[in-house]
Amino acid sequence: MRAGGSALLGAGLALFACIAGPRVAAAETLSATLSGLEEIPPVLTEARGDFRAGIDEESQEIAYTLSYADLEGLILQAELAFGLPGSNGATVVFLCSNYVDRPLAMPLDIRPCAMPPGTVSGTIEASDVLAVPGQGVEAESFDDFVELLRAGAIYVKIRSSLYSGGELRGQINR
């Protein structure tokens, strides 16, 4: 790990604190450290990432920041998927995408992913939650999504041009 990237991730977290402010401080917080070794199958890469989120049940929103650096391929997409450690699962929320040909389930207004080192911040609302019929997740169900987050059943994945199945992954925990 290079020192410059660590400073970038720290700066990303500082930016998150400034943007999210007291709203996240009062909310339930979740985090994930992303590594290629968490991918299935594991990927040996120097890339790394960090995810932070705060659940605000009253407003039915989740404020998040995803920071990443040193990807070996060009970033294609970042997403949240439903799966336990050691298993792959379906995408439940798209965070950003640079795909020209988007999957049908991807919203048309999805933000582009910043080139690494990069940070993506935003808010997840019920309308961002995709259905996963084979696993019982209903479209636009904020409550289902929060239940999965609290159970540790959601992971962050970053896909790149070199590792289209995923270069980075991290399980989200409290």
Q: What percent of the chain is predicted at pLDDT more than 70?
A: 85
The tokens 């940070």 sit on which residue? 119
Give the model confidence (pLDDT) of 58-94 as tens digits: 999 999 999 999 999 999 999 999 999 999 999 999 9
Strand order through the sheet with 91-97:
91-97, 75-82, 154-160, 168-171
Q: How many domains, the chain? A: 1
- Residue 42 domain-assigned (yes or no): yes
Side-chain-facing half-sphere of 37: CA atoms under 13 Å: 2
- Residue 138 domain-assigned (yes or no): yes
- Residue 110 domain-assigned (yes or no): no
Give the model confidence (pLDDT) of 105-141 as tens digits: 787 788 999 999 999 999 999 999 999 988 999 999 9
Q: Distance between CA atoms of 154 and 172, rounded to whole angstroms?
A: 6
- Residue 81 domain-assigned (yes or no): yes
At residue 162, what is the residue type?
Answer: L
What's the pTM value of the predicted model, to 2 decimals?
0.83
- Residue 112 domain-assigned (yes or no): no
What CATH number has the domain bearing residue 95?
2.60.40
- Residue 129 domain-assigned (yes or no): yes
Range of the domain at 59: 3-105+119-171
Q: Is 78 exposed, middle or buried (0-12, 13-18, 19+ CB in 10 A)?
A: buried
